Amino acid sequence: MAAVVALAFVFLFVLPISSCVRALSSNYYDHTCPQLESIVASSVKKAMSNDETVPAALLRMHFHDCFIRGCDASVLLNSKVKNKAEKDGPPNISLHAFYVIDGAKKALEASCPGVVSCADILALAARDAVFLSGGPTWDVPKGRKDGRISLATETRQLPAPTFNISQLQQNFGQRGLSDENLVALSGGHTLGFSHCSSFQNRIHNFNATLEVDPTMQPSFVARLRSVCPAHNKVKNAGSPLDSTNFVFDNAYYKLLLQGKSIFSSDQALLTNPKTKALVSKFASSQNAFEKAFVDSMIKMSSLTGGNEIRLDCRVVR
């Protein structure tokens, strides 16, 4: 995902997906750590008060965690001398806000030591990021365990911003996620920002005969080309993923129908009758989008893979 602050990605190279569905429960910590949710929410709120990009970062981090070996907090692990971890794989270089999870973990270890997994903290933080950005809230099923394996090479399993609809359907389908899940989770692009490298292919040298992607609205292309020239040298240049990129709403779908999407993978949703109908449905109804998004987040975050409780989210002991 080149450098994108939301749900970003790189080319799929089919590798075995080591994840399963573990029995999770919304009241898993009711007796062992009843203050869990308030501690995590406090950590997210504090971070958001200082950095408005935190919600998009946490949502993207959770997505990237779950798509590799299930939701096992492997994305949080640091690289070692002989092992380059997921967070240092090309699609994850721009992930940030790890300190939010660290802060929550530190507070939880002081309150209920050795009880709460880093994977559950990340799942809760992603939910809180959505809610605190004006989106829906939901009961997060809990009981995930943390994994010990984190490999940068496996980030090739993440969906790329250049994917077509067949590649997207295959990628999500391998994880038991439907077309509705695909379209709803793509709505996570309502939060965040993309660096030029992730959509340069649409606005410069699109193909042998066209300079730009003809599905894009001309004035929108002109704006993107002004901030991302062909030989861009500005490291952090890019564009918000929608017009209200700090608010969780359905503007992403409305803009997509107007030819104002950022990624090729966004536009790809309009190339299949079923996914196009879902885009139209979510564009016309925020409630329909929010319901589908919540259902899809619960389904995605139920992919589990670890087997321990990590005391330090960044290090395997």
**pLDDT tops 80 at residue 313:** yes
**pLDDT tops 50 at residue 17:** no
Segment 105-118, tens digit of pLDDT: 999 999 999 999 99
Residue keyed to tokens 């894009």 = 216
What the block records as the tokens of 197 is 């490298």
Residue 8: the pLDDT is: 41
Positive or negative, the CA dihedral 148, 167, 298, 64 is positive
Please tell me whether 249 is known to bind a ligand: yes
Q: Closest Cα partner for 140 from 307, 311, 300?
A: 300
Segment 44-88, tens digit of pLDDT: 999 999 999 999 999 999 999 999 999 999 999 999 999 999 999
Residue 22: the pLDDT is: 59
Residue 23: the pLDDT is: 84
Please tell me whether 86 is known to bind a ligand: yes
Positive or negative, the CA dihedral 54, 241, 200, 167 is positive
Please tell me whether 72 is known to bind a ligand: yes
CA–CA distance from 103 to each of 45, 48, 54 (Å)? Answer: 12, 13, 14
Please tell me whether 74 is known to bind a ligand: yes
Please tell me whether 190 is known to bind a ligand: yes
What percentage of the chain has pLDDT greater than the value 70? 93
Rounded to two decimals, what is the model's pTM?
Answer: 0.92
Task: State the Cα–Cα distance between residues 255 and 262, nearest whole angstrom.
Answer: 10
The residue-averaged pLDDT of 230-254 equals: 94
Please tell me whether 189 is known to bind a ligand: yes
Q: Which residues are catalytic?
A: 64
What percentage of the chain has pLDDT greater than the value 90? 91
Residue 9: the pLDDT is: 39
Task: State the Cα–Cα distance between residues 272 and 179, nearest whole angstrom.
Answer: 10
Residue 7: the pLDDT is: 44
The residue-averaged pLDDT of 214-240 equals: 95
Domains of the chain in start order, with CATH, are 35-157 (1.10.520.10), 165-301 (1.10.420.10)
β-pairing, 20-21 vs 4-5, is unpaired
What the block records as the tokens of 179 is 């077309």
**pLDDT tops 70 at residue 12:** no
φ, ψ at 83 (rounded to 5°): -150, 120
Contact 144, 22 (CB under 8 A): yes
What the block records as the tokens of 171 is 């990628």
